[in-house]
Chain A
Amino acid sequence: MQPTSLMKEEFLKKWQMGLQIYRPLIDNTSVSERRKAIKLSADVAMASLRRGTTCWSRALIQKTATENNFLVRQMLSGIKAETLINKKLPKVMCHRKIVRRSKKNFMRRKSRSVSEEVAAKARKLIKRKTQGLRNVVPGGEFMNNDVLLIQETLDYIVSLQTQVNVMRSIVDAAEAGIERTACYLEKLKFTIED
């Protein structure tokens, strides 16, 4: 599934809305503040497109809500803002060291053959990679199911692609405009000097 133009438009609208909300707070502040504002509103816009159906969107909204509750509430007005923000994600606590130690003991008792060892190593590798994927995708720690994880990554990748496309096109348009004015002004300068 590739990002469609409909998705891009929706994302753009929501993002504009968010930025408008932000603008009175950030006029004439530093670049980093502005960058944060842009990124934040973009993330929230992206997540709200999914309307709470996917796990990663909920996790992302929760993460931003902890920092900037006000903005998030405003942006999500009407779309179950309260439920999304107040919803507690299920906590999965596991003490990794204890689990690892017990696994080691268990494996020591088993008798192994060569092919089994190879398979076990492959499985471990894959487990590591899925753990890495969980770290990258927002809200990944709460997806114990492999199928769910892959579904969420798929959705997340598509949303990220729309986000990147829209932002890139805006940046390009802005730069093109600036470049054109710069050239124009250069010419103007030369004519003035002459």
Chain B
Amino acid sequence: MLEGLVSPESLSLSYADMSVPERLKWLQQHQQQEVLSQSNNDSPELLQILQFYGSNNDELLQSTFSHFQMLGANYNMGFGPSHEAMDGCISRTGSCQIDPADTMGVMLKNSEENRAISFKTKRKSEVKTREQEKTEKKIKVEAETESNMKGKSNMSNKEASSDTLKETSKGASEIQKLDYIHVRARRGQATDRHSLAERARREKISKKMKYLQDLVPGCNQVTGKAGTLDEIINYVQSLQRQVEFLSMKLAVLNPELDLSVEDLSVKQFQAYSSNLPVIVASKPLIMVDVPLFPLDQQGSLDLSVINLNQTTTIEAVRFYHSENFSDYSKFLLLVWEVTCLLYLFASAIYKLGNSVT
């Protein structure tokens, strides 16, 4: 159907078609700066186009194409960076014929029009170029956000058409309108408002899950929602356990509970500059990074160092639950005890040293 149109007016058609992707480019450039303006002079063409789709009439298509050609003639004056685009478009004349139809396809969102769209999208999928994809995606995304904002009341078909009529072109006002529709319905998918809203919600959720996947280490290998949720739960639990572990450690190491600022600035600088746990020779394994942290068990030591001057007792080593009580954790415990003993020893020696001198 469309190829038949090429031969009689091939040159002029290509001209008109060239303006369309250029228009799309223009839209890309101007999308941030626009002011939504009324466009009353659009309506006759749009009505024509809508009628065309309503009837699937060939004559109407021809007339609209001629219209576009006229518009294209008017607009070529105004295009600045048009030359390369035009060159690029010229090379695509074979495919360009589909473009206006595509942009028209963007405009409609009727269930019966879905079939027309699906027809066009089939064709289009063969020849789609990147710019077009970009603009369409941008339009679609913007349209989706708009549609989310505007609520569900705009989703009915009649209202959609009236919206497109009233609504603004996102582009320089010189360019003639292709009002874009909010959501492009894909082939075989329902277009009633519930499923649209659900689809928008699902896409929001999947976007957020992607952020989570970036944040949680090791989440990229697992696919599917359930696996990533599992990893997230494990990660949060391990972080919480680490906080407890570290607070316990701090309580042991720092009996005065002072994190005094002057002291800290020096230590902080040292600690931050390395950005990794400080490797101390005798106890390398206490500083475990998150992925190495044993997820299946939670070892918590309950030491009570009663008084440094008197005999110190290391009372109990208790575990909250130890399903897989591996050698690794035993080793960790041992090292922990060693460090505590070392601390006590050092303080004792210090006092001894003081008493001697």
Inter-chain contact A130/B208, CB cutoff 8 Å:
no
Q: How many residues of A contact B (CB 8 A)?
A: 61
Flag A118-144 by CB within 8 Å of B: 1 or 0 each: 000010011001101100110000000
Give the residue name and chain of the A residue nearest to B289 (CB): A168
Give the residue name and chain of the B residue nearest to A150 (CB): B208
Instruction: Say which one of B10-18, B84-92, B149-157, B223-231 lies at the interface with A.
Output: B223-231
Instruction: Find A178's partner among B244, B246, B253 (CB 8 Å cutoff).
Output: B253
Inter-chain contact B264/A173, CB cutoff 8 Å:
yes
Contact of A181 with B350 at beta-carbon distance under 8 Å, contacts A26-B257, A151-B208, A168-B246 already known: yes
Q: Quick check: is A61 within 8 A (CB to CB) of the other chain?
A: no
Inter-chain contact B304/A126, CB cutoff 8 Å:
no
Q: Quick check: is A10 within 8 A (CB to CB) of the other chain?
A: no
Provide the residues of chain B in CB contact with A186, threshold 8 Å: 349
Provide the residues of chain B in CB contact with A189, threshold 8 Å: 349, 353
Provide the residues of chain B in CB contact with A164, threshold 8 Å: 239, 242-243, 246
Q: Quick check: is A6 within 8 A (CB to CB) of the other chain?
A: no
Provide the residues of chain A in CB contact with B127, threshold 8 Å: none
Provide the residues of chain B in CB contact with A173, threshold 8 Å: 264, 267-268, 270-271, 278
Q: Quick check: is B47 within 8 A (CB to CB) of the other chain?
A: no
Inter-chain contact B244/A39, CB cutoff 8 Å:
yes
Q: A23 vs B280: C-alpha distance in the bound complex, in angstroms?
A: 30
Instruction: Find B239's partner among A42, A160, A169 (CB 8 Å cutoff).
Output: A160
Flag B211-247 by CB within 8 Å of A: 1 or 0 each: 1100110000000011001101101110110111011
Q: Quick check: is A31 within 8 A (CB to CB) of the other chain?
A: yes
Q: Quick check: is B123 within 8 A (CB to CB) of the other chain?
A: no
Q: A160 vs B237: C-alpha distance in the bound complex, in angstroms?
A: 10
Provide the residues of chain A in CB contact with B247, threshold 8 Å: 35, 38-39, 42, 167
Q: Quick check: is B80 within 8 A (CB to CB) of the other chain?
A: no
Q: A157 vs B346: C-alpha distance in the bound complex, in angstroms?
A: 38
Provide the residues of chain A in CB contact with B259, threshold 8 Å: 12, 15-16, 19, 170
Q: A31 vs B272: C-alpha distance in the bound complex, in angstroms?
A: 27
Q: A39 vs B353: C-alpha distance in the bound complex, in angstroms?
A: 35
Inter-chain contact A160/B236, CB cutoff 8 Å:
yes
Q: Quick check: is B252 within 8 A (CB to CB) of the other chain?
A: yes
Inter-chain contact B250/A171, CB cutoff 8 Å:
yes
Q: Quick check: is B303 within 8 A (CB to CB) of the other chain?
A: yes
Q: How far is the CB of B52 from chain A (nearest CB, A)?
A: 40
Inter-chain contact B270/A129, CB cutoff 8 Å:
no
Q: How far is the CB of A173 from chain B (nearest CB, A)?
A: 3
Q: Quick check: is B258 within 8 A (CB to CB) of the other chain?
A: yes
Q: A62 vs B242: C-alpha distance in the bound complex, in angstroms?
A: 22
Q: Quick check: is A89 within 8 A (CB to CB) of the other chain?
A: no
Q: How far is the CB of B293 from chain A (nearest CB, A)?
A: 10
Inter-chain contact A160/B257, CB cutoff 8 Å:
no
Inter-chain contact B304/A167, CB cutoff 8 Å:
no
Q: A147 vs B202: C-alpha distance in the bound complex, in angstroms?
A: 9
Q: Quick check: is A182 within 8 A (CB to CB) of the other chain?
A: yes
Q: Quick check: is B71 within 8 A (CB to CB) of the other chain?
A: no
Q: A156 vs B270: C-alpha distance in the bound complex, in angstroms?
A: 27
Contact of A38 with B250 at beta-carbon distance under 8 Å, contacts A153-B236, A164-B239 already known: yes
Q: A169 vs B349: C-alpha distance in the bound complex, in angstroms?
A: 27
Instruction: Find B264's partner among A39, A129, A170 (CB 8 Å cutoff).
Output: A170
Inter-chain contact A150/B339, CB cutoff 8 Å:
no
Q: A137 vs B229: C-alpha distance in the bound complex, in angstroms?
A: 13
Q: Quick check: is B345 within 8 A (CB to CB) of the other chain?
A: yes
Inter-chain contact A126/B225, CB cutoff 8 Å:
yes
Contact of A122 with B236 at beta-carbon distance under 8 Å, contacts A31-B248, A172-B287 already known: no
Instruction: Find A175's partner among B229, B248, B339 (CB 8 Å cutoff).
Output: B339
Q: A185 vs B342: C-alpha distance in the bound complex, in angstroms?
A: 11
Q: How far is the CB of A162 from chain B (nearest CB, A)?
A: 11
Inter-chain contact B342/A153, CB cutoff 8 Å:
no
Give the residue name and chain of the A residue nearest to B301 (CB): A31
Q: Quick check: is B204 within 8 A (CB to CB) of the other chain?
A: yes
Q: Give residues 1-50 of A contacting B (CB, 8 Å).
A: 1, 5, 12, 15-16, 19, 22-23, 26-27, 30-32, 34-35, 37-39, 42
Inter-chain contact A175/B271, CB cutoff 8 Å:
no
Contact of A38 with B251 at beta-carbon distance under 8 Å, contacts A167-B246, A177-B267 already known: yes
Q: Quick check: is B199 within 8 A (CB to CB) of the other chain?
A: no
Inter-chain contact B237/A136, CB cutoff 8 Å:
yes
Provide the residues of chain B in CB contact with A16, threshold 8 Å: 259, 261
Flag A149-163 by CB within 8 Å of B: 1 or 0 each: 011011011101101
Provide the residues of chain B in CB contact with A23, threshold 8 Å: 256-258
Contact of A167 with B215 at beta-carbon distance under 8 Å, contacts A30-B304, A146-B205, A192-B356 already known: no
Interface residues of A (CB under 8 A from B): 1, 5, 12, 15-16, 19, 22-23, 26-27, 30-32, 34-35, 37-39, 42, 122, 125-126, 129-130, 132-133, 136-137, 146-147, 150-151, 153-154, 156-158, 160-161, 163-164, 167-179, 181-182, 185-186, 188-189, 192
15 A-B pairs, CB-CB below 8 angstroms?
A: A15-B259, A19-B259, A31-B304, A35-B247, A42-B247, A137-B236, A157-B215, A164-B246, A168-B246, A168-B277, A170-B264, A172-B278, A181-B346, A182-B343, A188-B349
